[in-house]
Homo-oligomer: A and B are copies of this chain.
Amino acid sequence: SVKTNTMSPKITVELLRHLRQAMKNSKYITEPIQAYIVPSGDAHQSEYIAPCDCRHEFICGFNGSAGTAIVTEQHAALWTDGRYFLQASQQMDNNWTLMKMGLKETPSQEEWLISVLPENSKVGVDPWIIAADQWKNMSKALSNAGHSLVAVQDNLIDAIWEDRPPRPSTKLIDLGLKYNGLTWQDKVTALRGKMAERKVSWFVVTALDEIAWLFNLRGSDIEYNPVFFAYAIIGISNIKLFVDSKRLLHPAVQEHLELDSPSKPELTIQCFPYESVYTELQAVCAALAPKEKMWICDKASCALTRVIPKAHRSAIPYTPLCLAKAVKNPTEIQGMKMAHIKDAVALCELFAWLEKEIPKGTVTEISVADKAEELRSQQKDFVGLSFPTISSVGPNGAIIHYRPLPETNRTLSLNEVYLIDSGAQYLDGTTDVTRTVHFGTPSDYEKECFTYVLKGHIAVSAAVFPNGTKGHLLDSFARASLWDSGLDYLHGTGHGVGCFLNVHEGPCGISYKTFADEPLEAGMIVSDEPGYYEDGSFGIRLENVVLVIPAKTKYNYRNRGSLTFEPLTLVPIQLKMINTDLLTQKERDWVNDYHRKCREAVGAELERQGRKVALDWLIRETLPIV
């Protein structure tokens, strides 16, 4: 089930020839362009994209999630980051130059364009695929150098892509209040309250997870993300939904959206085809009163953003829906808890199975990933994985975004550390958990590193902090123990997690990198996942999904109130990997308390499901440490 990549390079001579012809073809553009940018992503700036939006893969062969291709009359170059250097170099032929982002000597896209373009060049880009803020930066840099960035309305890749897959239009499902906790009508009303508060009369919703959350609908247009292609424009008394009309024909969807018999006039949904958002937004803008304001996310596409006249446009870094969605309601929290217990059942089964199977020498990174998916799929309300499983043995574990491929696939043994980072979508919630284990005897150094990572994990998970604290202020807590010994990890500590939605969501996280995050609030759900990676040797990461909850403190300075975290993930942490001498009493108590919770909640479910072997494993793995 893990997607395998072909590792022979794609032959792109003909494709590039076609694209360069299109760059001069008056059918698409009034004047020839000297360069064409193919950004990563889709018109909604999704992290994961549908096959029809994999344009950089089509043109250069590289199929990693992040990559921007630029083609000029003479050159073709692809920018991607350290996760993908090897993969990109193997998948692209020698018509392409790999631009390794993050290396000092690598030019930025702007710098490179300026260095290769003739004077007064025109650089084209599809304004639907480039975000408004990216457009602004790119356009400024090019103008300063005497060039110009131009919007090419027809996508030139689509124009030459003969067998381009159609845009998916999967079945929409209405989860029901049992899973959502709030009706879409209540969500629209709350949103309008926020709009009224800030004197905003319209809001253009472009992020797919925001639309899915708002209307309490899910789809399966994009792998791993239960979303569907749509736009919405919400006014104080209008709701305009842009979605493939045949998806609305199903009686359950009709009824859910009250398409035939709206309860109130201001809750009447007007439906339009997905493609008509542009013209409809133009119509709304044409009718705006002089001081009316319209919200749009500054990460929305340049095309839509520019429809809104500047005087009316209020571009915001996080939308009110993004914020509302981040704070889970009691039903969602209950669902997330249930999903994590079911997910833990699957993982207890997996680890018990691995102990038995590994000595046979037949278990590989890929076969564990498959087995994990199989076990998860046995759980109630399972929908699919929430991201591609990272299943890595020994040195592969040190590659942070590793995915096992047939040519890298290692066999699990009693001699190497094993790291599995995996998660699933259930109707009631989304999971994301990483455990690092050893099936033989870990070395003292492996245990020492694991224990520092554990100390960091606990430092975040047990942290108490005032209301209003932003997640980035907690990032150093996760690193302090590693730092003390001269160690560190080069990624953030946590990301927001959706509820049967995207496994990565804003606006909160725990990272030294982002300072524009919003304060943590009770009800938010984030991951806590410090790690340590010894290149060529092993990787360690320990990840729980945690819920922000109010904390009881001895005092309460300025009545601000305090917060802390409650782990939702309930999978034992392998005791064999811990050097308990390095733990404080408080940390030992945390581990024992956590394992007691795992045993109680997951044990009860294992018992109910009659999974005796896994239950025995759980009981053994949750014995208290001293």
Contacts and interface: CB of A to CB of B under 8 A. Distances in A.
A554 B464 contact: no
A359 to B, nearest CB: 32
28 contacts: A463-B480, A463-B483, A464-B483, A464-B484, A465-B476, A465-B479, A465-B483, A466-B483, A466-B486, A466-B488, A473-B475, A473-B476, A474-B476, A476-B476, A477-B480, A483-B562, A484-B553, A485-B554, A485-B555, A486-B553, A486-B555, A486-B557, A486-B562, A487-B555, A487-B557, A488-B557, A515-B515, A584-B584
Contacts of A264: none
A479 to B, nearest CB: 8
A278 interface: no
Contacts of A112: none
A261 interface: no
A553 B485 contact: yes
Contact of A473 (B465, B485, B512, B562): B512
A473 B488 CA distance: 14
A436 B479 CA distance: 31
A488 to B, nearest CB: 5
Contacts of A486: 464, 466, 553-557, 562
A207 B98 CA distance: 44
A560 interface: yes
Contacts of A483: 463-466, 562
Interface in A278-336: none
Nearest to A551: B486
Nearest to A552: B486
Contacts of A476: 465, 473-474, 476-477
Contacts of A557: 486-488
- In the complex, the 4 A-B pairs of residues with the closest C-beta atoms, listed nearest first: A486-B553, A486-B555, A515-B515, A485-B554
Interface string A504-548: 000000001001000000000000000000000000000000000
Nearest to A311: B144
A463 B464 CA distance: 20
A310 to B, nearest CB: 10
Contacts of A465: 476, 479, 483
Contacts of A466: 483, 486, 488
Query: For chain A, which range describes its interface: under 10, 10 to 19, 20 to 34, or 35 or more residues?
Result: 20 to 34
A448 to B, nearest CB: 9
Interface string A430-472: 0000000000000000000000000000000001111000000
A105 to B, nearest CB: 16
A475 B556 CA distance: 20
Interface in A95-109: none
Contacts of A474: 476
A473 B493 CA distance: 13
A136 to B, nearest CB: 16
A436 to B, nearest CB: 18
Contacts of A515: 515
A466 B483 CA distance: 7
Contacts of A512: 473
A486 B562 CA distance: 6
A470 to B, nearest CB: 8
A451 to B, nearest CB: 13
Contacts of A477: 476, 480
Nearest to A482: B557
Nearest to A470: B512
A522 to B, nearest CB: 15
A465 B486 CA distance: 7
Contacts of A554: 485-486
Interface in A553-580: 553-557, 560, 562
A475 B555 CA distance: 21
A463 to B, nearest CB: 7
Contacts of A480: 463, 477
A301 to B, nearest CB: 25
Residue from A465, A475, A556, A560 having most chain B Cβ neighbours under 10 A: A465
Contacts of A484: 464, 553
Contacts of A485: 553-555
Nearest to A468: B488
A483 B464 CA distance: 6
A488 B584 CA distance: 24
A486 B551 CA distance: 9
A192 to B, nearest CB: 23
Interface string A222-263: 000000000000000000000000000000000000000000
A483 B556 CA distance: 9
Nearest to A534: B557
Residue from A465, A477, A479, A555 having most chain B Cβ neighbours under 10 A: A555
A464 B479 CA distance: 10
Contact of A560 (B488, B553, B555, B584): B488
Contacts of A488: 466, 557, 560
A201 B159 CA distance: 48
Given A465-B479, A466-B483, A473-B475, 19 more contacts: A463-B480, A463-B483, A466-B486, A466-B488, A473-B476, A473-B512, A474-B476, A477-B480, A484-B553, A485-B553, A486-B553, A486-B554, A486-B555, A486-B557, A486-B562, A487-B557, A488-B557, A488-B560, A515-B515
A311 to B, nearest CB: 9
